[in-house]
Amino acid sequence: MRLRLASSPLATLLTTPLLVGLAPAPTAHAQTVWVVDQAAGPGADFATLGDALAVANDGDTLLVRDGDYAEAIVIDGLGIDLVAEETSLVVVRGLTVRNLAAGRSVVVHGIEVAPLTIESGVGLVVEDCNGPVLLEE
């Protein structure tokens, strides 16, 4: 079934582009996927999680390749996804998520969180978060 508009003022209005009064849309940050690879392999953006977090914005994803990342990671106020690349074994030694506002979330998917040191015994710290922090297998 085909819709056919008769020649009328309404038909003209419906088929004429509306250009008057349009304002540009507000600029929004495009969500970015940053690739983190200790070995600095092809396609990697960063070799450390800390360097990736320094440039990450809300809504970004850090796609992490194989490795044992022995650095104290702090996600401070950012709503991001920290995701292991498929089939990768990723260990993060020491992860703190803090100051997460309501409406933002942190998702940690496929990443083992272990203590930074054996003596500390603490791998994951979540503090002052009003948004969810999700740990997924």
Report the alpha-carbon distance of residue 28 to residue 40 in Å, rounded. Answer: 30
| Residues in the chain, total | 137
Which pLDDT score is estimated for 3?
33
Which pLDDT score is estimated for 21?
40
Tell me the pairing of strands 81-84 and 124-127: unpaired
pLDDT confidence bin for 116, thresholds 50/70/90:
confident
The answer to whether 74 and 48 are in contact (CB under 8 A) is: no
Which pLDDT score is estimated for 24?
45
Which pLDDT score is estimated for 14?
42
Side chain identity, residue 62: L
Which pLDDT score is estimated for 29?
57
Which pLDDT score is estimated for 48?
96
- Each residue of 63-114: pLDDT tens digit? 999 999 988 899 999 999 999 999 999 999 889 999 999 999 999 999 999 8
Mean pLDDT of 18-33: 55
**Which residues, in sequence order, are CB contacts of 7 under 8 Å at separation 6+?**
none
Report the alpha-carbon distance of residue 44 to residue 18 in Å, rounded. Answer: 44
Which pLDDT score is estimated for 84?
97
- Each residue of 41-62: pLDDT tens digit? 999 999 999 999 999 999 999 9
Report the alpha-carbon distance of residue 92 to residue 6 in Å, rounded. Answer: 65
Domain boundaries of the chain, sorted by first residue: 35-136
3-class SS of residue 82:
strand
